[in-house]
């Protein structure tokens, strides 16, 4: 089924799963979609606002220019999405325990988000902005972090030997997080 420019905000009209559906320029507002199956669906230019999307299933789902605002996305595996055209932005979202595996996240935005214990592996994050994000225990391994802006984020630990960091931006306070692997003590 195809949905175009539709607003989904009535919890009583939501099916148990949306498998192999087409959504274009749709808005999902104030819904509990936790554990919803979106497998094989295409979401193009869509917005999720104040939704609970914890544990949603995204196997082979296309996310092209999808924005998440004030959403809960704990335990979501974005690595299982369709990689073609993948582009997402997050604002004021809870992304704890999420996985980004082999994703191109060029120029994506993570603004005022919690990314506790998230995992970024083999991603291209060139030009991505992490603005005011909590990156506590978030792991970055084998990523391209060229020109990534971490300057206002906190609880950051990155191993410079396992990530490309050319022209990445950091605050003075986050520099100790780049030295963790060396077991150094940095004081003011």
Summarised one tens digit per residue, pLDDT across range 71-106 is 999 999 999 999 999 999 999 999 999 999 999 999
Q: Which domains does the chain have, with CATH numbers?
A: 27-140 (2.160.20)
User: How far apart (Å, rounded) are the C-alpha atoms in residues 174 and 161?
Assistant: 17
Q: State both tokens at 110.
A: 């993570």
Instruction: Please say if the pLDDT value at position 188 is more than 70.
Output: no
Q: Which pLDDT score is estimated for 179?
A: 56
Residues 10-65 pLDDT 10s: 998 888 888 999 999 999 999 999 999 999 999 999 999 999 999 999 999 999 99
Give which of 8, 10, 34 is closest to 21, Cα–Cα: 8
Q: Which pLDDT score is estimated for 16?
A: 80
User: How far apart (Å, rounded) are the C-alpha atoms in residues 97 and 128?
Assistant: 19
Average pLDDT for the chain: 93
Residues constituting the chain: 188
Q: Which pLDDT score is estimated for 172?
A: 77
Mean pLDDT calculated for residue range 165-172: 90
Q: State both tokens at 149.
A: 């802006």
CA 10 to centroid of chain Cα atoms: 25
Residues 98-152 pLDDT 10s: 999 999 999 999 999 999 999 999 999 999 999 999 999 999 999 999 999 999 9
Q: Which pLDDT score is estimated for 124?
A: 98
Q: Which pLDDT score is estimated for 181?
A: 61
Q: Which pLDDT score is estimated for 166?
A: 95
Per-residue DSSP letters for 50-107? S-B-TT-B-TT-EEEEEEEES-B-TT-BGGGS--TT-EEEEES-B-TT-EEES-B-TT
- Indicate the pLDDT class of residue 182, thresholds 50, 70 and 90: low
Q: Which pLDDT score is estimated for 17?
A: 82
pTM above 0.75, yes or no: yes
């Amino acid at each position: 089924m195809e949905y175009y420019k539709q607003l989904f905000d009535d919890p009583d009209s939501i099916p148990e799963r949306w498998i192999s559906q087409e959504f274009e320029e749709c808005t999902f507002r104030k819904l509990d979609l936790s554990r919803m199956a979106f497998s094989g669906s295409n979401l193009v230019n869509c917005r999720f606002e104040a939704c609970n999307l914890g544990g949603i299933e995204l196997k082979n789902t296309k996310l092209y220019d999808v924005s998440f605002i004030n959403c809960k996305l704990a335990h979501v595996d974005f690595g299982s999405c369709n990689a073609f055209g993948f582009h997402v932005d997050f604002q004021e979202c809870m992304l704890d325990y999420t996985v980004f595996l082999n994703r191109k996240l060029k120029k994506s935005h993570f603004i005022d988000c919690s990314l506790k214990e998230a995992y970024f592996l083999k991603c291209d994050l060139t030009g991505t902005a992490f603005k005011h994000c909590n990156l506590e225990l978030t792991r970055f391994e084998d990523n391209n972090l060229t020109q990534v802006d971490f300057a206002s984020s906190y609880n950051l630990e990155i191993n410079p030997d396992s990530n490309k960091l050319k022209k990445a931006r950091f605050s003075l306070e986050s520099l100790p997080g780049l030295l963790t692997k060396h077991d150094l003590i940095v004081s003011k």
